[in-house]
Structure 1
Amino acid sequence: MIGRIHGILIEKAPGQALIECAGLGYEVDIPYTTFFHLPDAGQEITLHTHFSVREDAHSLFGFAARLDRNVFRLLIKVNGVGPKLALAILSGLDAHQFIRCVEARDANSLVKLPGVGKKTAERLLIEIADRIGQLEGQFTPGSLPGTPSAAPARDTHSPRDEAEAALIALGYKPQEASKAVNRIADKDMSREELIRLALKNMIPAG
């Protein structure tokens, strides 16, 4: 099991980071809540990881805080929740927000996440509530691997276009993504700021 990776951030994009460690480049799938805290390319980074081995793929998932990684592990144990949906959940809600939803039995906030229907939300609340004790002592913010970075100096597409594409990749409909970004878009906003604010407006904290 690969539980942590430390190296140099080579590339980053919503949903994935490329990290060089001991001469090897590791592609790490990440939730957007971790993407927001990635440092600039070329800087050192440490992520808490979960290594998944399947017949058709070997995947490495990375998280800014240990609690996020551990919540991800609880999520993928829930019937019908795979790594892709678990990442989508932790992209819309960070670990602390998700735990608050579980404690408050807040299904309404969960169903606003792409891919989470009413039955899945109810299953999450029931099964995660039974396992929440495994996270005892971890309900404090973890140290982050870096500070939110500014927009890249050179982008092929505008921050607004990339923010919309990121929301669509997360599972939102194109018209929903466009509407959410246009509602808060400002010419001086970076891609990361646009995505963060759009998600915040689309998924209000419970």
Structure 2
Amino acid sequence: MISSLRGLLIEKQAPSLVIDVQGVGYEVLAPMSTFYNLPSLNSEVSLLTHLSVREDAHVLYGFLTESERSLFRDLIRVSGIGPKLALSVISSMELPTFAQCINQNDTKRLIKIPGVGKKMAERLVVEMRDRLLSVKTTSTTIPVTKDIATPVEDAISALIALGYKPADARRWVQAVAEDGLTSEVLIRRALQSAL
């Protein structure tokens, strides 16, 4: 099992990253909460990881904090939630907001996450209530940096990759777009306005 990676961040196109660890490039899928806080390209980065082994692929997921990885692991234990949907949940709302939705039975807010319907939202509330008690809500303070030439298009592409409809992704990003904003900021604002 690969528990963590430390190396140079050589590619980042949300939600996919490539980390060069002594000449070996590891492709890692990361939630937007991790993506927002990554250093600039060709900088060293350390990620906690989770390896998902399927019949047709081995997929590595990366997280900056233990609380993100713990939440991811708890989510994939919920019946009907796979790694892709778990990544979408973590990307769509911050841990304290997600915990609040679970504790207040706020299924209306949960169904706004791509791939989560009414029954899945109800299942999340029931199965995650006890599990959230063990998840720490610490966060990292690594600064967000700008190194992407077209932040609006990159933000739209990232939302589509997370499962949002292209028309919705474009509308949300364009509604919050301002000159000088990074793609990470645009993604965060678009997700906040959508939810």
- The residue type paired with residue 143 of structure 1 is T
From 144, 149, 161, the equivalent of 2:145 is: 149
Which residue matches 1:124? 124
Which residue matches 1:17? 17
Q: TM-score, normalised by structure 1?
A: 0.88
CA offsets 1:5-32 (integer angstroms, 9 cap, x no match): 1111111111011111132111111011
Which residue matches 1:161? 153
Which residue matches 1:107? 107
**How much has 1:143 moved relative to structure 2?**
3.3
1:52-71 maps to which residues of 2 (within 5 A)?
A: 52-71=52-71
- Paired with 1:101 and 1:2, the residues of 2 have a C-alpha distance of 32
3-state SS in 1 of match to 2:143: coil
Is 2:171 the counterpart of 1:174?
Answer: no
CA offsets 1:14-68 (integer angstroms, 9 cap, x no match): 1011111132111111011111111001111111111111221111100111100
Contact 2:41–2:147 (8 Å) recurs in 1: no
Contact 2:51–2:61 (8 Å) recurs in 1: yes
> Structure 2 unaligned runs (5+)?
none
Which residue matches 1:33? 33
Contact 1:151–1:191 (8 Å) recurs in 2: no
3-state SS in 2 of match to 1:81: coil
How big is the alpha-carbon RMSD for the aligned residues of Structure 1 and Structure 2?
A: 1.5
- Paired with 1:43 and 1:151, the residues of 2 have a C-alpha distance of 12
Task: Give the stretch that moved more between structures: 103-112 or 70-79.
Answer: 103-112
Which residue matches 2:90? 90
Alignment CA distance shift 1:189-1:143 (3 Å): closer
- Paired with 1:151 and 1:106, the residues of 2 have a C-alpha distance of 37
Q: TM-score, normalised by structure 2?
A: 0.93
Taking every aligned residue pair, what percent have the same amino acid on both sides? 43
Contact 1:13–1:35 (8 Å) recurs in 2: no
CA offsets 1:115-140 (integer angstroms, 9 cap, x no match): 100100000110111323443xx23x
- Paired with 1:55 and 1:175, the residues of 2 have a C-alpha distance of 33
- The residue type paired with residue 200 of structure 1 is Q
Contact 1:103–1:129 (8 Å) recurs in 2: yes
Contact 1:50–1:62 (8 Å) recurs in 2: yes
> Structure 1 unaligned runs (5+)?
none
**How much has 1:102 moved relative to structure 2?**
1.5
